[in-house]
Amino acid sequence: MFSVGKKISFILPIKGVLQKLKDNAQKTVLLDATWYLPTDTKNGKKEYLESRLPGAQYFDIDEAKDHKNPLPHMLPPADEFASYVGKLGIDRNTNVIIYDRKGFFSSPRVFWTFKVFGHEHVFLFPNAFNAWKTEGLELETGEPRTPKPVVYEGAKLNKDLVASFDDIVKVIESPDAAGVHIVDARAHERFLGNVPESRPGLASGHIPTSINIPFTETTAAGITAPKPEEDLEKVFSSHGLTDKSVPIITSCGSGVTASVLFAALKECGFKDVRVYDESWSGYGKRANEDSSLLATGP
């Protein structure tokens, strides 16, 4: 659950991270969530094995997924999530601090995953590597530390944070009645349908009624960190998102950068935000078979 009342940021600067490690190192786990697009030659797990923040464990979104679903890195069943994070030394009361090597790209996906399964004490650490080095702190190299496995209890999928294809169809068929904004995080040319999708078998275009806010509009140059909250407010306002009580569904290619928008929207205080887990990797296949599901152009 996200707290109500006075807003407390879940995005931590380096000082906040170091304070949590100082106050309760035994109950704090750093998670490296580095992941790259299939078109990238880099490998997040390989980079983690080469160097990492001291004591960090690696969260692989291509391992902690629904292995029975052919779509990329769909949310795992609750029991499999619990088993996976338990092996990383994480229990229900652990402070989980998530970072990725790019800065603010794949870590929000893992943040959202923890939130979906009800983990309360989870934070994002943007621009972690640069911040760590700026403080004069050393990275850990060599063999990663092996955590002591623990039991993660009470994992249960929170449907209020996840959108399905059926949810999308309801908005398409009756946008005014649904009262939901669908926000697409993909690049504008992909949204318009002007360029082919990199994954085979996917239509080019976007979900009817959706609006386009490329996730890069919400991040600093180089995707190192989210923009300051006041700048995020301006971005969302410029796209007509001013009422923070209106439900929002974020979508992208496969649910990763939709989670960047999820984090940015929640940081700004939007109350009802869901991620369309299958995103275009699933929707684009459906639209390839049913043109009524597809829109192109502005």
Residue holding tokens 């509009």? 217
C-alpha span between 60 and 34 (Å, rounded): 8
252 is catalytic: yes
Residue 190 annotated in ligand binding: yes
Q: Give yes or no for a contact between 85 and 152, defined as CB atoms under 8 angstroms apart.
A: yes
- From residue 14, alpha-carbon distances to 129, 135, 141 in Å are 10, 8, 20
Choose, from 90, 248, 252, 294, the residue flagged as catalytic: 252
150, two tokens:
């623990």
Cα(first)–Cα(last) distance of the chain, in Å? 35
Active site residues: 252
Query: Binding site for substrate: residue ranges?
Result: 190
